[in-house]
Amino acid sequence: MFFPEYRPRRLRRNEQLRSLVRETEISVKHLIYPLFIVEGKGIKEEVPSMPGVYRFSCDQLKDEIKEVLDLGIPAVILFGIPAQKDEIGSQAYAKRGVVQQAIATIKKEAPELVVVTDVCLCEYTSHGHCGIIKNGEVDNDLTLEQLARTAVSHAKAGAEMVAPSDMMDGRVARIREALDEAGFSHIPIMSYAVKYCSSFYGPFRDAAESAPQFGDRRSYQMDPANVREALREASLDVEEGADILMVKPALPYLDVISRLRAEFNHPIAAYQVSGEYAMIKAAGRLGWLDEERAMLESLLSIRRAGADIIITYFAKEVAKKLS
Ligand code: PBG
């Protein structure tokens, strides 16, 4: 089939034809919206490096939840910023902790909204690392116990899914075991299976006050240079009982999403992280990019790479655009 027999432009002539042959779609039903919850009352403050994203105290959540629900967004993922931090992150599993209270509030307002919780210690530890420090290092196995307690306390508070983001070895198995023992065998684990040590988390660390106070996260998060290691990480999580595999960040790691899609039959989630959001917002504000088109194109590319689910700060804007 040589030119001019096959002319690809024939199918691009008008929107009806283009739409007929379109391979990938973004739909609001694939999106999860992240929410930052702070302790206190009467707080709704914009995150400076994330225009349009706010930190809410529980009493201010009502309108936001209603909007999310009205827009048809099926799920939220919660990040808590506690008033008190300590060496072991004990507020992460406090019965009246910030996330535990937020879950109750949301479930009351919107029982049909799926509430996912991020399970990690970095927002709760005084040193900002994702685990317990022993002899100057993050101790893997001590941390597992804290993560398991945290996941169970979220489930007890009413969370419908837990998402461990710490990158400790063996945490999916330990959390699965703890959930099952506590009567939560029906609660799925969305594992941040492949989480890179990325510069794109910058704005999040401002929002969650979770920047490490010494060193960095390279001894537990993945080296951005590696993709075969990503497959090993994902295999381990599958063996340990993960229900959904996540890749994070998304746009700089589309190849990783695509490899996971090819190798695994589990649902794949991708996290379009704070820095990806901030980049598009900033260029849009400067008039250097068409913000809306860049937003839609970035999400479409993540879907095209093979993600079923996308966690994105753009969720509300996309939903408005699509409706
Ligand atoms: C907690 C966590 C982080 C993000 C999600 N969960 C930060 C980090 O690992 O430093 C980043 C999300 C984002 O940048 O939007 N461990």
Say which residues have a Cβ less than 8 Å from residue 289's Cβ, sequence separation at least 6.
280, 283
Taking CA atoms only, the protein residue closest to ligand 1 atom 8 is 201
In angstroms, the CA 318 to CA 313 distance is 10
- Cα(19) to ligand 1 centroid in Å equals 36
Summarised one tens digit per residue, pLDDT across range 230-265 is 999 999 999 999 999 999 999 999 999 999 999 999
Torsion angle (degrees, nearest 10) of CA 112, 115, 116, 121: -170
C-beta separation of 148 from 174 below 8 A: yes
156 ligand 1 Cβ < 6 A: no
205 ligand 1 Cβ < 6 A: yes
Tell me the CA end-to-end span of the chain in Å, nearest whole number.
41
In angstroms, the CA 102 to CA 111 distance is 13
Contacts of range 229-234, beta carbons closer than 8 Å, 24 or more positions apart: 230/193, 230/194, 230/256, 230/259, 230/260, 231/259, 231/260, 231/263, 233/193, 233/194, 234/193, 234/194, 234/260, 234/263, 234/264
- Cα(184) to ligand 1 centroid in Å equals 25
64 ligand 1 Cβ < 6 A: no
Say which residues have a Cβ less than 8 Å from residue 288's Cβ, sequence separation at least 6.
none
C-beta separation of 165 from 172 below 8 A: no
311 ligand 1 Cβ < 6 A: no
CA 246 to chain CA mean position, Å: 8
Summarised one tens digit per residue, pLDDT across range 292-322 is 999 999 999 999 999 999 999 999 999 999 9
Tokens encoding 237: 């999580």
Low-confidence ranges of the chain (pLDDT < 50): none
Centre a 10 Å sphere on the Cβ of residue 14 and count the other Cβ atoms it contains: 9
Residue 143's nearest CA partner among 159, 162, 160, 119 is: 119
The label of the residue with tokens 């479409």 reads: 300
The catalytic residue positions are 195, 248
Say which residues have a Cβ less than 8 Å from residue 108's Cβ, sequence separation at least 6.
none
- Cα(14) to ligand 1 centroid in Å equals 42
All structural domains of the chain? 24-322 (3.20.20.70)
pTM beyond cutoff 0.75: yes
Q: What is the pLDDT at residue 1?
A: 63
Mean pLDDT of the chain: 96
- Cα(165) to ligand 1 centroid in Å equals 7
In angstroms, the CA 138 to CA 217 distance is 9
In angstroms, the CA 52 to CA 75 distance is 18
> Concatenated DSSP letters for 138-182?
EEHHHHHHHHHHHHHHHHHHT-SEEEE-S--TTHHHHHHHHHHHT
CA distances in angstroms from 291 to 31, 37, 67, 282, 323, listed in the order given: 19, 27, 22, 9, 18
Pocket test for ligand 1, best of 116, 120, 201 (most atoms within 8 A of CB): 201
C-beta separation of 137 from 131 below 8 A: no
